[in-house]
Structures are given as structure tokens and as C-alpha cells.
Amino acid sequence: MALRRVLRIDNADDKKILKLHCQLVKLPDRTLKQLVADMFETMHAANGVGLAAPQLGVPIRLCVIGIPPEYEEQPDGSEVEVAPAEEYVFFNPKIVKTSGEEVMRDEGCLSLPGWYGQVPRQTWVTVEFQDIAGKPRRIRKADGLLGWALQHEIDHLHGVLFTELIRDLGTLRDITREPEPEVEHAPVA
């Protein structure tokens, strides 16, 4: 595995690649296992939830998504994992059905680190794709973080950037420049 450089929206040369419509992937193709591994390593190192191949300069229809585990706080203050982490690999994904109902979400992108804005997304999507062996797969009514990430990553495969979907550019902000919330500090004994 290897960390790769993520192309940036605010770099003119990078943006030309990010705006490309990606090529279909002919499967099976064993050479893609290394790319998938590199994508997950790069995504995790950047604390991302998803990454599309064009973000690494590879204009093919491939994206990966990693949903973190969910925890629930117990009455005694401890946390228990209620849903494990899940990792997904999507070759040639396409949205075949949507909820028809939009929700505004605060969204960011590894290609514009630290910047977030309000983006309209469907509340759920059904996606058809292929696994690495080329077998057709389908995820029905993906909602929550998975549904949101699927829409974002599939947009990348069509050369659509999240900043282009923001209806009110006043919501676009650099959270690295926002003042940190004041935190109460417990006295040290």
C-alpha cells in the first residue's frame, strides 16, 4: 500500500483532471487491487469517508467508501460498538433510483480540505455497481452517511465537484479558520 497525493479543486492543473468524465472499468482486472488498497490508505490517512479514483489522478469509474463504526454510550458512561466499520469498493457505480426527496447536508471533500458547505442530496439512493471480479451488485435505498458518500463519490466520476452543487455560496466556509469552541477545563488536582 502507498499514500498518494489527492488532487485539489483549488489547483488549476488538478481541477482539469477532476472535471473529467471517467472511463468505465473492464473487469476483472487484478492490477486494480493495488490501486484500491492505496485508495483506502490515502482516504484513512486524510480522515475521509470516501475517495474516487479521479481524486488520485486516475480517471476511471472507481470509488471506495469507509463507514466508521457506531458507538452507543451506556448508562455507566462506557461506550459499546453497535455497528461495525464497513468498507465498500464500487466499480462502475451508477445511481438507478432516488428518494425524490432532498435534504441539505454540510459537506466537505478531500480535494478541498477544511472547506464545508451546504449541499442538497437525496435522502436515499439505489446504486448498481460491479465488484472487483466484475460481478454485478446492488445496494438498495442507501441512506445516512453511506447514501450521502455514494452521491458525492459518483459525482466525482462524472466530473462534478461538491462546490458546484452549493446553492448558497455563503454556506461555504473554511473550518480551519473558525474559532474553536470554548471548552470548560476541569481543575487539575
Element (H, E) at 16: helix 12-18
Q: Which residue has the cell 486494480?
A: 32
Residue environment code for 115-124, b if the CB has 16+ CB neighbours within 10 A, otherwise e: bbbbbebbeb
Tell me which residue of 43, 39, 28, 56 sits closest to 1, measured CA to CA.
39
**49: Cα within 13 Å, side-chain hemisphere:** 16
pLDDT of residue 185: 39
Environment class of 48 (CB within 10 Å of its CB; exposed 0-12, middle 13-18, buried 19+): buried
Q: Which long-range contacts (CB under 8 A, 24 or more apart) does 101-104 make?
A: none
Q: What CATH fold (topology level) applies to the domain 12-69+82-177?
A: Peptide Deformylase (3.90.45)
Per domain, the residue ranges of the chain are 12-69+82-177
% of the chain beyond a pLDDT of 90: 90
Amino acid type, 76: D
Cell of 138: 446492488
Kindly write down the DSSP assignment for every residue of 75-89, as one continuous string.
TTS-EEEEE--EEEE
pLDDT of residue 183: 43
pLDDT of residue 187: 38
Tell me which residue of 104, 119, 113 sits closest to 163, measured CA to CA.
119
Instruction: Give pLDDT tens digits along the chain (189 positions).
Output: 799 999 999 999 999 999 999 999 999 998 999 999 999 999 999 999 999 999 999 999 999 999 999 999 999 999 999 999 999 999 999 999 999 999 999 999 999 999 999 999 999 999 999 999 999 999 999 999 999 999 999 999 999 999 999 999 999 999 888 666 554 434 344
Active-site residues: which are they? 153
pLDDT of residue 92: 98
